[in-house]
Structure 1
Amino acid sequence: MTIDVDSLLRKAVENGRMHGVAAAATKDGKIIYQGAFGKREVNSQSAPEMTLDTPVRLYSMTKALTICSVMKLVEQGKLALDQEARTILPELAVIQVLKGFDANDEPILAPLTKPITIRHLATHTSGLVYDTWNADFKKYLQKTGKPRGTHSKEVLRAAVLAREPGERWEYGIGIDFLGWIVQEVSGQTLEDFMQEHILKPLGMSQTSFYISPANQSRRLQVAQRREDGSLIPTPIAEFIPPAGTTDMLPGGSGMFSSCADYLKLVTALANGGAPILSSESTKVLLSNQLGDLAVQTLPAALPISNAAVPRPGEKWSVLGQVNVVDVPGARRAGSNSWSGLANTYYWIDPASRVAGVLCTQMFPFSDAQVLQTFDEFERAIYATL
Structure 2
Amino acid sequence: MNKTNQLLLACAASALFAQSALADIRTTNPKRVGMSQARLERIEPAMQAFVDQQKLAGTLTLVARKGKVVHLEGVGYRDREAKTPMSEDTIFRIYSMTKPITAVAALTLWEQGKFQMNDPVSKYLPELANLKVYAGMDGENMVLEDTNKVMTIKQLFTHSAGFSYGFTQSPVDKLYQQSALFSGKTKREDLLKEVAKLPLNHQPGTKWNYSIGTDIIGILVERLSGQTLGEYFEEHIFEPLEMDDTGFYVPKDKQDRLAQIYVINQQGQTVPMENEPLGDYLSAPEIESGGGGLVSTIEDYYTFTQMLLNGGEYEGKRILGRKTVEYMRTNHLPSNLIPFEPSSTGEGYGLAMSVTVDEQGANTMGSKGDYGWAGAASTYFRIDPKEQMIVISMTQLMPSSYFSYNKDFKNMAYQALID
Q: TM-score, normalised by structure 2?
A: 0.81
Q: Which residue of 2 aligns with 1:63?
A: 99
Q: Does 1:116 align with 2:151?
A: yes
- What is the alpha-carbon distance in structure 2 between the residues aligned to residue 27 and residue 38 of structure 1? 25
What secondary structure sits across from 1:126 in the alignment?
coil
CA drift of 1:61 comes to 0.6
Query: Aligned residue for 1:101?
Result: 137
- Once residues 88 and 197 of structure 2 are traced to their aligned partners in structure 1, the CA distance between those partners, rounded to angstroms, is 38
Instruction: Give CA-to-partner distance per residue, 1:298-356, whole Å, 9 cap, x none.
Output: 7xxxxxxxxxx212x42100131111133698321011121011111110111111111
Cα distance in structure 2, aligned partners of 1:214 and 1:40: 17
Q: Which residue of 2 aligns with 1:347?
A: 382
Give yes or no for contact 1:204–1:264 (8 Å, CA) kept in 2: yes
1:40 aligned partner, one-letter code: R
C-alpha contact 1:322 1:337 (8 A) present in aligned 2: yes
Q: Give the number of the structure with larger relative contact order, counting CA–CA contacts within 8 Å between residues 6 or more apart.
A: 1
Matched, 1:37 2:70: no
Q: Which residue of 1 aligns with 2:195?
A: 156
Following TM superposition, by how much is the alpha carbon of 1:196 offset from its aligned partner in structure 2, in angstroms?
1.1
Shift of 1:384: 5.8
Aligned to 1:250: 289
Call closer, same or farther: CA 1:318–1:86 in 2, change over 3 Å: same
Identity over aligned residues, as a percent?
Answer: 28
- Number of the residue aligned with 2:221: 182
Paired residues of 1:273 and 1:279 also in contact (CA < 8 A): yes
CA deviation profile, 1:35-86 (whole Å, cap 9, x unmatched): 11111223x3x52111122111111111010000111111111122111111
Q: How far 1:371 sits from its partner (Å)?
A: 3.5
- Map 1:118-267 to 2 at 5 A: 118-133=153-168, 135-141=170-176, 145-149=178-182, 152=188, 153=191, 154-226=193-265, 229-240=268-279, 248-267=287-306
Change (3 A) 1:348 1:85: same
Matches of 1:156 and 1:384 in 2, distance apart? 50
Please point out which of 338, 343, 360 is paired with 1:294.
Answer: 338
Other-structure match for 1:281: 324
Are the counterparts in 1 of residues 214 and 352 from structure 2 also a CA contact under 8 Å? no
Deviation at 1:185, TM superposition (A): 0.4
Contact 2:168 2:174 in 1 (8 A): no
Q: Give the corresponding residue for 2:18.
A: none
TM-fit CA distance, 1:171: 1.1
Whether the 8 Å contact between 1:24 and 1:260 is mirrored in structure 2 is no
Give 1:74-85 correspondences, 5 Å limit.
74-85=110-121
Deviates more, 1:128-137 or 1:167-176: 128-137
Match of 2:54 in 1: 16
d(CA) in 1 for partners of 2:147 and 2:70?
Answer: 49
2:86 aligns with 50
- Which SS does the other structure have where 1:25 is aligned? strand
Q: Deviation at 1:268?
A: 1.4
Q: How many residues in Structure 1 have an aligned counterpart in Structure 2?
A: 367
| AA matched with 2:73 | G
- Residue by residue, what CA displacement relative to the aligned partner does 1:99-133 show, whole Å, maximum 9, x if unpaired? 22222x13222222221111000001101111114
**Per the alignment, in what secondary structure is the counterpart of residue 404 of structure 2?**
helix
Q: Which has more radius of gyration?
A: 2
3-state SS in 1 of match to 2:382: strand
State the Cα deviation string for residues 197-249 of structure 1 (Å, max 9, x = none): 1111221111111221233332111112246543111212333589777x652
Q: What is the root-mean-square deviation in Å for CA atoms of aligned residues?
A: 2.4
CA gap 1:177/1:10 in 2 versus in 1, 3 angstroms: same
Question: Does the CA contact (< 8 Å) of 2:251 and 2:283 recur in 1?
Answer: no
2:319 is matched by which residue type in structure 1? I
Does structure 2 conserve the Cα–Cα contact (< 8 Å) formed by 1:20 and 1:38? yes
- CA deviation string 1:281-314 (max 9, x = no partner): 000010010122223337xxxxxxxxxx212x42
Higher deviation after alignment, 334-343 or 367-376: 367-376
Whole-angstrom CA distance in 2 between matches of 1:16 and 1:206: 28
Cα shift at 1:258: 1.4
Please, which moves more after superposition, 258-267 or 338-347?
A: 258-267
CA contact (8 A) 1:93 1:112 kept: no
1:86–1:93: 8 Å Cα contact kept in structure 2?
A: yes
Question: Unaligned 5+ residue runs, structure 1?
Answer: 299-308
